[in-house]
Amino acid sequence: MKKNLLLASAILFYGITAFAQEVNFEEYKLNNGLHVILHQDKTAPIVTTSVMYHVGGKDRTEGRTGFAHFFEHLLFEGTENIEKGKWFEIVASNGGSNNANTTQDRTYYYEVFPSNNLQLGLWMESERMLHPIIDQGGIDTQNEVVKEEKRLRYDNSPYGQFLPVLGENLFEKHPYKDPNIGYMKDLDAATLADVIAYNKKYYVPNNAVLVVAGDIDLGKTKKMVKDYFGSIPKGENITRNYPKETPITQQKNAKFYDSNIQIPASMIAYRTPGFKERDAYVLDVISTYLSDGPSSKLYKKMVDDQKQALQVGAFNISQEDYGMYVVFGLPIGETSLEVLTIEMEEEIEKVRTTLISEKDYQKIQNKFENQFVNSNSSVEGIANSLARYYLLYGDTSLINKEIDIYRSISREEIKEVATRYLNPNQRLLLEYLPEENTAN
């Protein structure tokens, strides 16, 4: 029986290693500063064309928040050669799909086409970069779109405000204090000149990376990339010098009332290092240990055994300059938020003061191995990873070697990092409450 288990383990390990093939890629720069990454994968006749710009919610001035998210929408309006409102129609009618998303640190656009439409994808993204039509009509249209999104995702969604509230309370100086979507009064106040200037500054080739991944011919693709993107003018160099935060040395307390909820939440949050720092990887491991799956420490204790929480979790919100580490719980029955906070802190304290078991450590390692395999299992996912590792981490090869960082994290290091960042005097204690009914 023992031999069979060992054989099964060996086969499983071999399967993971064999399936997680190294992602091959080629990268180079055009004369205008556009970084290009090509990944050839001929297993299916599809191709992903994507552009990631190094611009996000934090790239703003006071009184002009939310521009990056606004541009995520605005740059689908149309170009000199793509009729207004026709972008999605062109993609769909040629067998493709597309989308975009914005974080506090970057904006990502992509199309997935049958590989015989690679040229179309490159042309459309070059049009977005070179020839966007930015006029008052488009600004007004997308302003209403953003307002509706804010109402749907934030204002009228249960717990929709918790990320903005965390940012507001964890940061005092850095732009992370403001929501990625911005404040609607800022978008209302923005002039056409403001918007044009923002586009000229950030949506330029030297602030972007182009990734082409899938069933491609490398030589022909390089020629098309040069033809469509090579003549786009380089923008001015961008310098970022955001204010540094003073370390939190005394517990902060806050309350927020949400009219969309009936069950309150207790949230413990800490300001942590940016995602390029090794300690941020260790915090990922700690969150997996505490709350990833029904056998994790917080879930097993508070949901299954003690039946104090309807839901509980811990997660590391990774960002470029600072992270936010959050532990939260929703009470069940008569359990108070104070009890939830005490029970959650008890588990965090254990990570600070004792080594996790070898069994739990190995379980975490297995989970990260599986995540690594899954992250590179599709061309679309590979394209995103290649863009992100180059633009935000400055090391494209992390797509193959980031797993080695997780493998190298020891039990002792887990304890050290928890002791460094997850102390009661470094935390924000947020009571996220149902809005009180003040009607007589």
For residue 283, give the DSSP letter: H
3-state helix, strand, coil in the chain (%, to 5): 50, 20, 35
- Position 293 scores a pLDDT of 85
C-alpha to C-alpha distance for 289 and 363, rounded to whole angstroms: 9
Which residues does residue 266 pair with via DSSP β-bridges, in sequence order?
A: 329, 431
CA nearest neighbour of 342 among 306, 369, 378, 385: 306
Burial class (CB in 10 A: 0-12, 13-18, 19+), 89: exposed
Torsion of CA 167, 172, 174, 179, to 10 degrees: 30
C-alpha to C-alpha distance for 134 and 366, rounded to whole angstroms: 49
Residue 392 C-beta-side C-alpha neighbours within 13 Å: 25
- Enclosing H/E stretch for 324: strand 322-331
For residue 212, give the DSSP letter: E
Q: For tokens 């049009």, name the residue.
A: 127
Max Cα distance, the chain (Å): 74
Cβ neighbors of 174 (< 8 A, separation 6 or more) are 58, 242, 243, 244, 245, 321, 322
Which residues does residue 292 pair with via DSSP β-bridges, in sequence order?
A: none
C-alpha to C-alpha distance for 61 and 178, rounded to whole angstroms: 11
10-residue stretch averages of pLDDT, the chain, 440 residues long: 36 40 95 98 97 97 94 96 96 97 98 98 98 96 94 94 96 97 94 96 98 98 98 96 96 97 97 98 97 91 96 95 98 96 98 97 95 89 97 97 97 98 98 73
- Position 376 scores a pLDDT of 85
For residue 410, give the DSSP letter: -
Instruction: Quote the pTM value.
Output: 0.93
C-alpha to C-alpha distance for 240 and 52, rounded to whole angstroms: 18
Please give the C-alpha separations between residue 397 and each of 16, 181, 385, 390, 393, in angstroms, as whole numbers: 19, 31, 10, 8, 10
For residue 62, give the DSSP letter: T
Contact between 323 and 273 (Cβ < 8 Å) = yes
End-to-end distance of the chain based on CA atoms, in angstroms?
71
- In the three-class reduction of DSSP (H, G, I as helix; E, B as strand; rest coil), residue 69 is classed as helix
- Position 249 scores a pLDDT of 97
Reading the block at residue 438, the tokens are: 């003040």
The residue ranges of DSSP E strands in 103-244, in sequence order, are: 107-114, 208-214
- Amino acid (1-letter code) at residue 371: Q
User: Would you say how long the chain is, in residues?
Assistant: 440
- Position 436 scores a pLDDT of 76
Contact between 376 and 7 (Cβ < 8 Å) = no
Cα 419 to chain centroid distance, Å, stands at 26
CA nearest neighbour of 317 among 278, 279, 289, 284: 284
- Position 118 scores a pLDDT of 98
